[in-house]
Amino acid sequence: MMLSNDDKIRKAFENKDWQDIKATDAWQIFKIMSEFVSGFDKMSAIGPCVSIFGSARTKPDDKYYLLAEEIAHKLTLEGYGIITGGGPGIMEAANKGAKTAGGKSVGLNIDLPHEQYSNPYIDKDKLIQFDYFFVRKLMFIKYAQGFVVLPGGFGTMDELFEAMTLIQTNKIGRFPIMLVGKQYWSGMMSWIKDTLVVENKVSAEDLDLMCIVDTADDAVKHINDFYSKYMLKPNF
């Protein structure tokens, strides 16, 4: 049974004895470990992939849904697998594009009280269910060689800035990040430039971590150009 918001707040302030802590937290550790093991086991053999992020609320007739589908289709034809959050909206569009191109279509689905259900375009052996956001987010980052970010809300922003933070701090390689939709992202980029950079919260060169594009061809070209510098090509 799912707790209400009030119940969750009250529960956070409850005094717990050692037996309660041992019973609940110890079990939670094993549940988290099982999600890591399952994710690593399935994702490790997938090959070069691009993670595509975006809103679950995007409708099939929306221009960004169609653009996500086109980007995924063209990336798949270039040899990349596609990783999404496995749900509706942009995620569905990206999985659909990968599926119609005959490529690998991965869905990292999470159990939520609303919005989230797995879409029908994920390869059956590549649909992975999660209860914990942080485990799921690690899979997005660890097994991707590039990131394409379409318009979305808090979840999309979380995934975007997680990737940026890990690249900025050299925890992962400087993989390409594509922001799709100049009109949508220009306000955020202006705020970063005019506020965060000016107040010395980030460096001006951190803006170079992202590239804003408007078309599928530009997104795919940027990723291909990035890897051509290293003489690398997807291997499947």
Q: Is residue 234 part of a domain?
A: no
Note the pLDDT of residue 40. Answer: 95
Give SS3 for 61: coil
Note the pLDDT of residue 158. Answer: 96
Note the pLDDT of residue 235. Answer: 45
Q: Is residue 236 part of a domain?
A: no
Q: Is residue 233 part of a domain?
A: no
Note the pLDDT of residue 236. Answer: 42
Q: Is residue 235 part of a domain?
A: no
Note the pLDDT of residue 3. Answer: 67
CA distance 108 to 188: 27
Q: Going residue by residue through the chain (236 aa), what tens digit of pLDDT does each one get?
A: 556 767 666 666 566 665 665 556 778 888 999 999 999 999 998 889 999 999 999 999 999 999 999 999 999 999 999 999 999 999 999 999 999 999 999 999 997 776 568 899 999 999 999 999 999 999 999 999 999 999 999 999 999 999 999 999 999 989 999 999 999 999 999 999 999 999 999 999 999 999 999 999 999 999 999 888 765 555 44
Per the structure, the complete domain to which residue 121 belongs is given by: 13-228
Q: Is residue 3 part of a domain?
A: no
Identity of the residue numbered 188: M
Note the pLDDT of residue 116. Answer: 61
Domains held by the chain: number: 1
Q: Is residue 125 part of a domain?
A: yes
Axis crossing angle, helix 90-100 with helix 63-77, rounded to the nearest 10: 40
Note the pLDDT of residue 19. Answer: 61
Query: Quick count: other Cβ atoms within 10 Å of Cβ 174?
Result: 11
Note the pLDDT of residue 229. Answer: 77
CA distance 146 to 140: 10
Q: Is residue 2 part of a domain?
A: no
Q: Is residue 207 part of a domain?
A: yes
85 Cβ neighbours under 8 A, 6+ residues apart: 53, 56, 91, 107, 108, 109, 110, 116, 136, 140, 155
**146: CATH:** 3.40.50.450
